[in-house]
Structure 1
Amino acid sequence: MIESARSLPSVWRILNLWIVGIVVVFLLLPILIVIPSAFNTDPTVTFPIHGFTLKWFANAISRAEFIRSFFLSLAVSVIATLISLAAGGLAAYAIVRRAFRGKVLLELVLLSPLIFPSIVLAIALTMVLGSLGLLRTVPGLIVAHTIVTLPYAVRAMIGTFHSIDPHLEEAAAVLGARRVFVWREVLVPLLRPGLLAAAIFSLIMSFDEFAVSFFVVGPGMTTLPIELFNYTEFYADPTICAVSTILILLSALAVLAIERSVGLAKLMS
């Protein structure tokens, strides 16, 4: 009876490992299919592949619409990320370091875009930007992407501020340092890992955003995810897999940079 009771934890541990393994395989299965398909010699997306070629990558980087939409997505994501870092950093500092009424409500409001479905957020932004005259414009697209990326910047910066000892700021202030000096010489160097993590997360989420962009963009200002969607309506070749493979590798490098700089476990704690 005792031996049977002792064996239960090991059984649950093995069961948990199997469940985690199945979930990981399920999540990685699309990637494991898309990446090999990008090198397939067949003119259609098939798996398993029947040969090895790089012509789909050459086709992807030679199409003007992909290049144009890539640079638009890059420009919008960079600007939205910079705005999110500035606004999110100040908001995170107030939430962590200051005590005021409505602090919890402020944090919930800033993180609320993470809760709403993308389609709901897209429709709401369409209505708001339309009333402001910003719909189908690049500034409106930047505003929409800033709202999407702001929660990631706030969440990353809150975790970073929690890891910084507030006594360091107090010591600098006691020694006569002004607030600007404290930020420049004390906080910013300590915030660099969190800033990098927030920037990378924001860039990834903005660059890959589809639903919000689909409702907000106008003629002549198509982002890369929308351009890929339009491409699949008329073509079924592995070019789409080649572009997806490039984006997957860039995202993986970004996540690796976050892990090396601040650590994902520490960031999400």
Structure 2
Amino acid sequence: MAAAPHARDLTGFLLRAFVGLVMLFLITPILVVIPSAFSDDVSVSFPPIGFSLKWFASAATTPGFLHGFGISAMVAAVATTISIVIGSLAAYALVRYRFPGRGLVELLLLTPLIVPSIVLAIALNMILGAMGLIGDISGLFVAHVILTLPYAVRVLAGSIRGIDVALEEASLVLGARPSQVGRLVILPMMAPGLLAASVFGFIMSFDEFTVSFFVAGPGVNTLPIALFNYVEINIDPTVSAVSTVLIILSVIAVAVIERTVGLARMLG
């Protein structure tokens, strides 16, 4: 009986140690990439040699990166907007209504979260190829909407669950039309969730590589594809500089999500 507390303490220590090692494993690439972006050496090295900002200037003046950034930003913005509109309606229906096949609809909407990226990429390549959309910007839009929609549905469903249905019923009783309830009651209360879903969806779309690689074609390469093409023939820290900028932007975006709606609530 007396050994039980010691066993629990040992279990807790081992669990914390394991979690610490996993976190260290995940953060180690970041700890290598960021310092190497400021290196004065002509090749990627760690620890960095000297200090220089020239690789950030190189990244900002590399045509492939600038073009890829523009394509990624445009695709992410369009895909996120479409997924937010569809996701809002789908999330509201899933949360507020009970109908035959509801579980199947929810499963289908969340399938892209479950299916491995390479499987989804090959499937989209086959379907969009049959439609003649491979290598076309519209094909990227379709693929990225499919990728970002599950995140929108999940985040917005959590946001809608936090809205008291009595407020909607009271608005209807007081004479508001359903469209007015949606515009004046539901949407304002969903604002934090809409912001979180938009930011998170934009990040996921902007950083997506596997699906974009199978769907994009010459002239419509996204930034991740431009980075992949660059490292095939170059080994300088320019890629580290681009990666550092993306890491900083991602950290800011996650901070915005945590501040507005909370990561635990968003993923719950």
Could you state the TM-score of these two structures normalised by the residue count of structure 2?
0.98
- Counterpart position of 2:245: 246
The number of equivalent residue pairs is 268
Could you list the runs of 5+ residues in structure 1 that have no partner in the other structure? none
Kindly provide the CA deviation profile for residues 158-197 of structure 1, in whole angstroms up to 9, marking residues without a partner as x.
1111111111111111111111110111101110111111
Aligned with 2:133: secondary structure?
Answer: coil
Aligned with 1:250: secondary structure?
Answer: helix
- Counterpart position of 1:31: 30
- 1:218-233 to 2 correspondences below 5 Å: 218-233=217-232
- Counterpart position of 1:13: 12
Alignment of 1:106 with 2:105, yes or no, is: yes
Aligned with 1:176: secondary structure?
Answer: coil
- Counterpart position of 1:97: 96
Could you list the runs of 5+ residues in structure 2 that have no partner in the other structure? none
Quote the offset at 1:94 in angstroms: 0.4
- Counterpart position of 2:262: 263
- Counterpart position of 2:64: 65
Q: Distance in 1 between matches of 2:189 and 2:242?
A: 36
Quote the offset at 1:64 in angstroms: 1.5
- Counterpart position of 2:44: 45
* Alignment root-mean-square deviation, CA: 0.9
AA partner of residue 230 (structure 1): N
Quote the offset at 1:251 in angstroms: 0.6
- Counterpart position of 1:236: 235
AA partner of residue 157 (structure 1): L
Q: Distance in 1 between matches of 2:76 and 2:4?
A: 55
Kindly provide the CA deviation profile for residues 35-94 of structure 1, in whole angstroms up to 9, marking residues without a partner as x.
001001111111111211100000000112111110110000000000000001100000
- Counterpart position of 1:207: 206
Q: Distance in 2 between matches of 1:268 and 1:229?
A: 30
Q: Distance in 1 between matches of 2:238 and 2:78?
A: 28
Alignment of 1:164 with 2:163, yes or no, is: yes
Q: Distance in 2 between matches of 1:190 and 1:264?
A: 18
Could you state the TM-score of these two structures normalised by the residue count of structure 1?
0.98
Percent of residue pairs bearing the same amino acid type: 55
Which stretch shifts more, 127-136 or 19-28? 127-136
